[in-house]
Amino acid sequence: MSVMTSVIHVATSGSDLSDGTADRPYRTIDHAAQRAMPGDTVRVHDGTYREWVRPARGGRGEQRRITFEAAPGEHVAIKGSEVVTGWELVSGTVWRAAVPNSLFGDFNPFAAEIDGDWIVYADLHTPKKHLGDVYLNGLSFYESETLQDVFSPSRTITTTDDWTGSADHVRNPDQTLHVWFAEVGATETTITANFQAWDPNMQLVEINVRRSVFFPTEHHIDYITVRGFELAHAATPWAPPTADQPGLIGPNWAKGWIIEDNIIHDARCSAISLGKEASTGHNFAADRRDKPGYQYQLESVFSARQIGWDEEHVGSHIIRRNTIFDCGQTGIVGHLGCVFSTIEDNHIYNIAIKREFYGYEIAGIKLHAAIDVEIVHNRIHDCSLAIWLDWQTQGTRIGRNLLYANSRDLFVEVSHGPYLVEHNIFGSRASLEVFSQGGAFVNNLVCGTLSVEPVVDRPTPYHRPHSTQVAGYAAIYAGDDRFIGNVFLSGDADAAYGATKRRSQSAGYGTAAYDGHPATLSEYLDLVADPTKGDHERFADVNQPVYIRQNVYAPGAAAYRNEDGAVLLTEHAAARLAEDGEAVYLETDLPSAFNEASLGVTCGTDLPPVRFVDAHFENRDGTPVTLNVDLTGARKNANQRYSAGPVSQLPSGASRTRVW
């Protein structure tokens, strides 16, 4: 039996009193979203739509999705902002406009503070930033702390550096001259802004008004596709893992969304959310102040299980081919709701580099509980931190990504694995931070430092393989890691890490941070076999085993002391990434000794299982992984040998390889 489906049309020339046909389109996308049924397509035509789209229902599976798409060849922008006109000159380059509060409805972002668990302000007297923002011809301003500062922004407006010490990544230092300050009254909000050389009445000036742009207000609105839009200007709140995590766009605790081929930018905090919902906790640590956020985060995991946190009801999203930029906290954020999802072929940049506010939940991609999540072939650069995987990184695959020009590239925190990091380029000075255990790093190019640290004061959960069911929890002792076929370069560690060295004393080039760890499981079992010690005492001071072989080390990078088959280069070795329009090239200069580093295809059966979880390196369906596709997409044959690093046919000498 066939299912009746239809195409619903929306155009700026339409009316919501029409019938949604091509000849009589609706005016607003949200009106169409209230009427779309499973299997329908909402096709939106050229223009700018200032609204919050809140689908009323979802699809009924992969074959009967509800699809929202921009009409082919047409540019469709959906914005959470409104245009402000009628600016009055106050003095010099400072202008003022009064906006009626009725424009905001029951949510005024200029009155809502950026606050919550894990947000950090300099002291108790520092004024908090707000969710509002002002845009001049698309350029986001800075919020001033006082009205007076608007009149002399070059003297008083500074950016808040994070603990990486990377102030050189501010997007545009001159942008600090464009500032605003808002005063919220009973009936209107007055915005005072320094436009410098611009007359705001002759330009496009917008302020964000809506919290989100495309985000259901109900849970379990499943199987939605959003394709081909420009999505911008959302007053999204701070999104820690212990709070509701709304984004500019996202499924809001649902299953099976596809978000693809969009341009997404200027979310005050987070652009795409695959995150937690409020009922399992919302900023309790900040509000109640009675116990750490860590404890509330543990509770949220168990609370989520009680409301149906499993593969049948949540996750399995696809986020692909999007361009995401100019967001204050994250490009993609998620906790619990991101499970079993795929994030691929996205271009993410300029995340959290304005540094107007700071907290411990900032990255291009920041996920908690990324169970069976695949983060594959993404280009992430010019971010405070590119990828941060925190808690329950299990069954996770970080493969074929291009990360560079970030303060830090990859941080895996308090997780037990198994997780897989393969065929990536880590091009920033701080490449890898491994505050976890149970990882496998295969065929990567690591241009910067590697930091390894135990975290014994925050035990975290682990799960049954390919499941959200909690199997136990444990502290992080560091180790139980695998490094095979990677290429490690070197540089000035002091310059690379700056302030980060205060937090991590183990930063260095190469794998020598694992010296003192046994090289086999049998050796480890001998070390914990002392019958004169108690149950816990036998393990407390014994380093976990590591499995490290056949890596390449440039001069200045140090190999693990017990490594088998390490290739130690004695001549100069260098690599750099060069952008050429939309393309990125890897330029290398490697000595002839690099040719000695060849190895076959690595499979899950080559990787010892992780110790605590007692799990193998598998695909989502439980079959062993096979790492036979390099960064460029070239396939490897099982019976051949290939270069170390992410490019399978990388030669010695000078070469130039397109990697994006």
Residue 20 lies in a domain: yes
pLDDT at 159: 45
Residue 506 lies in a domain: no
Instruction: Give the three-state DSSP class for 655.
Output: strand
| Residue 186 CB burial class (10 angstroms; 0-12, 13-18, ≥19) | exposed
pLDDT at 500: 40
Q: Which strands, in side-by-side order, build the sheet including 270-273?
A: 270-273, 330-335, 363-368, 387-390, 410-413, 430-435, 449-452
> CB within 8 A of 9, min separation 6: which ones?
20, 21, 22, 25, 26, 43, 44, 45
Rg (Cα) of the chain, in Å, rounded?
A: 26
Between CA 388 and CA 386 the distance in angstroms is: 7
CA distances from 235 to 130, 218, 429, 443, 590 (A): 9, 19, 33, 40, 48
Instruction: Give the three-state DSSP class for 101.
Output: helix
Q: Do 154 and 43 fall within a single domain?
A: no
Between CA 146 and CA 641 the distance in angstroms is: 63
> CB within 8 A of 449, min separation 6: which ones?
429, 430, 431, 432, 493, 496, 497, 507, 508, 509
Between CA 116 and CA 497 the distance in angstroms is: 28
pLDDT at 4: 67
Tokens of 256: 């099976």
Between CA 516 and CA 452 the distance in angstroms is: 13
Domain boundary, last residue among 44, 62, 79: 79
Residue 539 lies in a domain: no
pLDDT at 278: 96
> CB within 8 A of 529, min separation 6: which ones?
538
Cis peptide bond prior to 418, omega within 30° of 0? yes
* Cα end-to-end span (Å), the chain: 45
Q: Do 65 and 158 fall within a single domain?
A: no
Between CA 3 and CA 115 the distance in angstroms is: 47
Domain boundary, last residue among 492, 515, 532: 492
Instruction: Specify the number of domains making up the chain.
Output: 3
CA–CA–CA angle 469, 475, 480 (5° rounding): 90
Residue 641 lies in a domain: no
Residue 584 lies in a domain: no
Beta strands in 280-429 (DSSP E): 318-320, 323-327, 330-335, 342-344, 347-351, 358-359, 363-368, 374-376, 379-383, 387-390, 396-399, 402-404, 410-413, 419-422, 425-426
624 within 8 A of 617, measured Cβ to Cβ:
yes
Between CA 129 and CA 142 the distance in angstroms is: 10
566 within 8 A of 510, measured Cβ to Cβ:
no
What CATH number is attached to the domain comprising 288? Answer: 2.160.20.10
What CATH number is attached to the domain comprising 188? Answer: 2.60.40.1180
pLDDT at 534: 87
The β-bridge partners of 227 are 69, 260
634 within 8 A of 377, measured Cβ to Cβ:
no
Residue 275 lies in a domain: yes
Residue 88 lies in a domain: yes
Q: Do 275 and 420 fall within a single domain?
A: yes
DSSP state of 625: P
Q: Do 308 and 184 fall within a single domain?
A: no
Between CA 411 and CA 451 the distance in angstroms is: 9
Between CA 625 and CA 414 the distance in angstroms is: 23
Q: Domain containing 458: what range?
A: 232-241+252-492
pLDDT at 495: 35
CA distances from 616 to 45, 61, 395 (A): 49, 31, 9
DSSP per residue, 117-145: TTEE-SSTTSPPPBS--EEETTEE-EE-S
pTM, entire model: 0.95
Q: Do 374 and 481 fall within a single domain?
A: yes
Helix (H) or strand (E) holding 537, with range, is: helix 537-540
* pLDDT per position as a tens digit, 34-44: 999 999 999 99
Q: Do 33 and 20 fall within a single domain?
A: yes
Q: Do 73 and 123 fall within a single domain?
A: no
Q: Do 87 and 147 fall within a single domain?
A: yes
DSSP state of 595: G
Question: Strands 188-194 and 179-184: what pairing?
Answer: antiparallel
Domain boundary, last residue among 454, 470, 492: 492
DSSP state of 238: P
467 within 8 A of 509, measured Cβ to Cβ:
no
* pLDDT per position as a tens digit, 630-655: 999 999 999 999 999 999 999 999 99
Residues of the chain with pLDDT under 50: 1-2, 155-175, 492-503
Of the candidates 306, 286, 373, the one whose C-alpha atom is nearest the C-alpha of residue 337 is 373
Q: Do 377 and 484 fall within a single domain?
A: yes
DSSP state of 187: S
Residue 621 lies in a domain: no
Q: Do 61 and 88 fall within a single domain?
A: no
Tokens of 435: 């505050």
Buried b (16+ CB within 10 A) or exposed e, 88-108: eeeeebbbbbebebeebeeeb
The β-bridge partners of 266 are none
Q: Do 106 and 200 fall within a single domain?
A: yes
Tokens of 215: 């985000």
Of the candidates 376, 255, 249, 253, the one whose C-alpha atom is nearest the C-alpha of residue 324 is 249
pLDDT at 164: 36
Q: Do 162 and 257 fall within a single domain?
A: no
> CB within 8 A of 228, min separation 6: which ones?
69, 70, 76, 260, 261, 262
Question: Strands 425-426 and 445-446: what pairing?
Answer: parallel
